[in-house]
Structure 1
């Protein structure tokens, strides 16, 4: 497999660069005449020979399949970056055609003085249920009317004690809302957008302003053809609009996208215009940005994802290719901003003075797509229900409980490990995770690691020569970093914020 070949080649290159670094700094253990160095050279030589043989085989396979290597749609990573981070935390452009929906539901809630309001918003994916719910949740009338508000994924279990509480449920099936006790008269289904509303929403996304839209009348005809294929579903309109915003505003480019959209709609795998627009938007991403998007597949459904955690992961795995004009940390934020602009990622919180995303989340349909692609491309291992299932082929692991750790294959070649739970996790030197030898990224920032032997953890970490990003923020047991951490010559990022007991 080509991806595995690239991973193995990258490992050899990293090891050689590290060994050169050791020699440069005068480490005695790296003398050319020591047994350890001779063994390293011998083993590296065998690996290189194997890699070269695999490259020759791969070349024959590719030559057999492709008579000519056409130039793939080459994307300039710079694209239209630099004019991002412009929309507010709540994007009012998404409200085209949904204003009457919010007013209707708020009208149901406010006049009555019930102890508990139950309102259901139902409909197919991409219809705007979450958008309507957000608008209601954040509206001034609701904020002033209710003492307590809580936004929670239906997959989570929450108990909230108190009075005067309002719940807004966004569901796909009316029967589910009725089973939850919602009166049929309090169940609302947002309508699909008409053609005029669809095109208005499209223009708000595809162009920076109304003035810019008016400057390109030649695009109106093809734009309306594209919008018609969205069948009035807001998410499809927004996604295809976000895609075209990143492209050159020429009739030729827009017609190509229109044609590709038609092809995506006619494939058996595409259930509707939403999934077709999402797939097309993914296909049009630069290759490095595709890898960044697939990282979202490892986060639990409806997670609020910290932007810095994502950025550190991308840098640690080498998904970001530096440029002279941007620092290592600036460019990944540009990537994230681009994914947001294309409506593949949603902002939860932004920084006030420049609009940079603090945190984000992913629509459940986009997440479904990333899981599907991540499984197909071997980015991560999932079962048919979209749950992670670590195997020997796993390259990335996010775990939410101890069961995830126990099910991990001891022969796995994990490149990134992320803890996704704040619940206590029992670590000991016998767990499978401690057998991982070559991770690039370790992130334990979601957990204080209160029930572990910190010495065992640090000894294991200090042995990970290829480690590039380490996040131990908030780890309460961390009092001192060992001197051996200095052996990690490949380490680029070390995050220790919130380690309140750190002394040395």
Structure 2
């Protein structure tokens, strides 16, 4: 990943040089020399990256280069921090540098000169080894590696091809029932689509109707019986903690007693199935309950009571279905139609090498989706794939290696972040994007917002099929993802070789809190850049006092995510130490308890760009020093029920792009931030408002959002609101015209706000209305003969009084693609009869219920 490290550093260096701060200017000549040397090198670094896998000498050269770049990045960060501390308006002090008698200027200048000489020598060594001349070669502008603007995933990740026969067979078996528990095995090699088949059956409405309880458990290669039981309970809506395995199993028995249930044990590896016998013996029998086991081992399936007659062995996709799946991904922009006849031959050649394995086809399809439709480029990819297959006959692993090699440099760093997550871990998009931003992995060009560019990086990985979908919004945007075990094998291997993350080495630059190393053997590590909580859904980290004391010695730490953690030491004391991490740009203490306040020491974190304190129910307030964090881009205080308002002066955070959980001050709270201050946040893209009383919006503040030209996503929640005047104020509270997504929660009025109409919100694409008293839409909502909505996604949820007619809604929303509707018993003529009780999903594209 040296090309990725170089690209990230050059991005930071270019930004620093443009800042013109004192110490950057003082060493400008050395930094510019370093920049030129690295730009000359970029033209052949990708070739060197690929060849180093086969040659130890080149690998050593690249390792040395990588270490030099990391050191250069640290020096650059120190210069920026020193300039900030030298600023007479700054109250911070540079404490992360070791005390020395040598003046900072002399020491840094000498180190930069030595580094430039070493890097120049490395450049010559690499170019000589590759036979590539570099003298006189023009520098390569890293900005040429353009980031495509993915507004959303290009194709539907849930679509499957060629599995109709597989799913039909499993559904027929599942209907049979048994006096005991019917066990079904789906057995086959990795990448064959075993999990996809099981998911397809598990999620079908027919199976939802047939089984009263459905449980899905992902069985990783490292697990305990207790973890399996807790996962089963979470599926049943019980987040029990502190019980013994025997007690957990008794709870499961009570939940399932007398019920027909479907249990899926996905991706079972362990041949020692003592844990399974314990669980199976504790399950209630009969009632037609079934179990599906997916595994690569027939022996495992048989030991789990699967009879030969109920073993399903998926076949590789046929030639036609392989080509169809490839086209659906590679030509997703044209709905799977190849409009380039010259590409069909080379495309079929690529698909043939995948040998009918869906994961391999998806991987190469994702590569081609992101490449220009030019024959030379496609032929180059085909040749590259052929070379990978010559080294590794496993077409899945060869296709995944190819996918990694073909990633743009900025996405390689993003991809390697996945190595920190355990098997079958649900990964939130926000955590990934915030981490990438915090470490500077996201290049920002052309005035684009940082958070938008980070989300595009996320979509870039999902479009390449390197991330799998777990949860999506009602209109299809991915919220949560996971990593296929074969993709994880690749990313863990690369991350170890490139010292990105080493689970058994204290020199690692990126570390997960939940690893045994972090829990038991963590020592001070000056190289550490990121320390993150990567727990599985529903679990928490237990952070020892040893870890808490030591990681604060990692002075160059950029990203720290302590979310969903339990600490052996008082959390406030730990956060006091965090205040010494002056390079920190991302800090999350989301869902940590009992966090009551943020300590004064955090005032020194002037480089902070992202602060997440969401779901901290005991947090009483935010400190006033928050308004001095001039670089802050994301502030998330959502679901913090004890906070009454945010501090006055928040409008000075001019770089803020995301503000969630904003509670405006009331008229009797002079030290709080009024909603009128929001008009100064001209870069705001996402805003979440929590409104409870009418006096939170003064008559002069009703137009506070209108001029926020970057605002695209707005959530207004009126949970626990009081008084009738809030409806009047909301009726005048106009959002900006360019809004793309609007969510109204617990709206207290009977009639929708006057501004909810296609003239006031002509760009609106997604509308969500949930809970509250809404009964009717205002007359303007229905538009006129010349004006209709451009809405594509609509969600209506828990609107017990909503009495509008569904045909009238579809008439004024001709672009509507998908609708989710739940608990709306008065919604007339919606094409799901029992919508008031179960809910329904209507998709125009498929013309199905």
TM-score > 0.5 by shorter chain? yes
Give the alignment partner of residue 303 of structure 2, picking from 179, 200, 203. 179
Q: Say which SS state the counterpart of residue 592 (structure 2) adopts.
A: coil
Find the partner of 2:214 among 120, 127, 149.
149
Partner of 2:164: 99
Aligned counterpart in structure 1 of residue 89 of structure 2, from 26, 39, 52: 26
CA contact (8 A) 1:427 1:453 kept: no
- Higher Rg of the two aligned structures: 2
CA contact (8 A) 1:458 1:482 kept: yes
CA contact (8 A) 2:186 2:194 kept: yes
Post-superposition offset of 1:83: 5.7
- In the other structure, the counterpart of 2:485 is 364
- Secondary structure of 2:543's aligned partner: coil
Q: Secondary structure at the match of 1:151?
A: strand
TM-score by length of 2: 0.54
1:449-493 CA distances to partner (integer Å, 9 max, x unpaired)? 353222331121000011110001112232222222121121111
Q: Distance in 2 between matches of 1:244 and 1:42?
A: 50
Give the one of 471, 475, 496 matched to 1:375. 496
Greater helix share, structure number: 1
- Please state if 1:81 is matched with 2:149: yes
8 Å CA contact retained: 2:187, 2:311:
yes
Where do 1:267-306 residues align within 5 Å? 267=391, 270-306=392-428
CA contact (8 A) 2:329 2:336 kept: no
CA distance in 2, matches of 1:172, 1:375: 26
What displacement does 1:251 show? Answer: 1.8
Q: How many residues align?
A: 487
Secondary structure of 2:494's counterpart equals: helix
* Structure with more contact order per residue of length (Cα contacts < 8 Å, sep ≥ 6): 1
Where do 1:160-179 residues align within 5 Å? 160=232, 161=252, 162-163=256-257, 164-167=260-263, 168-179=292-303
Q: Which residue of 1 aligns with 2:388?
A: 264
Q: CA deviation at 1:52?
A: 3.5
The equivalent residue for 1:248 is 372
Change (3 A) 1:145 1:37: farther
5+ long unaligned stretches in structure 1: 382-387
- Deviation at 1:187? 1.3
Aligned equivalent of 2:460: 338
Identify the match of residue 238 of structure 1 among 351, 362, 365: 362
CA–CA distance in 1 between the matches of 2:606 and 2:303? 58
Which secondary structure state, in structure 2, belongs to the residue aligned with residue 424 of structure 1? Answer: strand
Are residue 203 (structure 1) and residue 266 (structure 2) matched?
Answer: no
Q: Name the CA distance, whole Å, in 1 between partners of 2:505 and 2:442.
A: 26
Aligned position for 1:420: 534
Unaligned runs of 5+ in 2: 1-63, 233-251, 264-291, 622-849
State the shift of 1:272 in Å: 1.0
State the secondary structure of the residue aligned to 2:597: coil
- 1:397 maps to which residue? 511
1:470 aligns with 2:584: no
Residue 348 of structure 1, aligned match among 455, 470, 487: 470
Q: Distance in 2 between matches of 1:335 and 1:440?
A: 19
CA distance in 1, matches of 2:394, 2:174: 33
**Larger displacement relative to structure 2 (157-166 or 205-214):** 205-214
Displacement of 1:356 in angstroms is 2.8
Equivalent pair of 2:533/2:564 in contact (CA under 8 Å)? yes
- Seen in structure 2, the aligned counterparts of structure 1 residues 261 and 180 have a Cα distance that, compared at 3 Å, is same
Distance in 1 of aligned mates of 2:92 and 2:572: 24
CA displacement at 1:435 relative to structure 2: 2.9
Choose 230-239 or 70-79, whichever is displaced more: 70-79
The offset of 1:158, in angstroms, is 2.0
CA distance in 2, matches of 1:29, 1:244: 49
Whether 1:485 and 2:606 are equivalent positions in the alignment is no
**1:324-335 equivalent positions in 2, closer than 5 A:** 324-335=446-457
**In 1, are the aligned partners of 2:560 and 2:586 still within 8 Å (CA)?**
yes
Q: Secondary structure at the match of 2:574?
A: helix
Q: Which moved more, 1:213-222 or 1:233-242?
A: 213-222
Q: Quote how far apart the aligned CAs of 1:137 are.
A: 1.1
Q: Report if the CA contact (8 A) 1:428-1:452 is conserved.
A: no
Q: 1:425 Cα shift?
A: 2.9
The answer on whether the counterparts of 2:572 and 2:595 sit within 8 Å (CA) in structure 1 is: no
In 2, distance between residues paired with 1:298 and 1:308? Answer: 16
C-alpha deviation, 1:360, in angstroms: 0.6
Residue 497 of structure 1 aligns to a residue whose secondary structure is coil
Matches of 1:429 and 1:130, distance apart in 2: 37
**SS state at 2:215 partner:** coil
Superposed displacement of residue 30, structure 1: 6.5
**Offset of residue 141 of structure 1:** 1.8
Aligned residue for 2:611?
494
**Which residue number corresponds to residue 385 of structure 1?**
none
Matched-pair contact (CA < 8 Å) for 1:294–1:379: yes
Matches within 5 A, 1:314-325: 314-325=436-447
Deviations 1:322-363 (A, max 9, x none): 12342110111111111111111112112234x332111111
RMSD of aligned alpha carbons: 2.6
Supply the distance in 2 between the matched residues of 1:54 and 1:151 (Cα, whole angstroms): 54
Q: Distance in 2 between matches of 1:180 and 1:435?
A: 49
Aligned with 2:198 (options 129, 133, 144): 133
C-alpha deviation, 1:37, in angstroms? 10
Give the Cα separation in 2 of the matches to 1:430 and 1:205: 45
Q: Tell me, what secondary structure is at the counterpart of 1:368?
A: helix
State the Cα deviation string for residues 253-278 of structure 1 (Å, max 9, x = none). Answer: 211111111111101xx241111111
Secondary structure at the aligned position of 1:337 is classed as: helix
Q: Secondary structure, in 3 states, of the residue corresponding to 1:420?
A: coil
Identify the residue that residue 112 of structure 1 maps to in structure 2.
177
Alignment-derived partner of residue 563 in structure 2: 445
Q: How far, CA to CA, are the matches of 1:391 and 1:107 in structure 2?
A: 53
CA distance in 1, matches of 2:611, 2:364: 38
Compared CA separation, residues 454 and 399, structure 1 to 2 (3 A): closer
The 1:485–1:96 alpha-carbon spacing in structure 2 relative to 1, beyond 3 Å, is same
Asked if 1:6 corresponds to 2:124, the answer is no
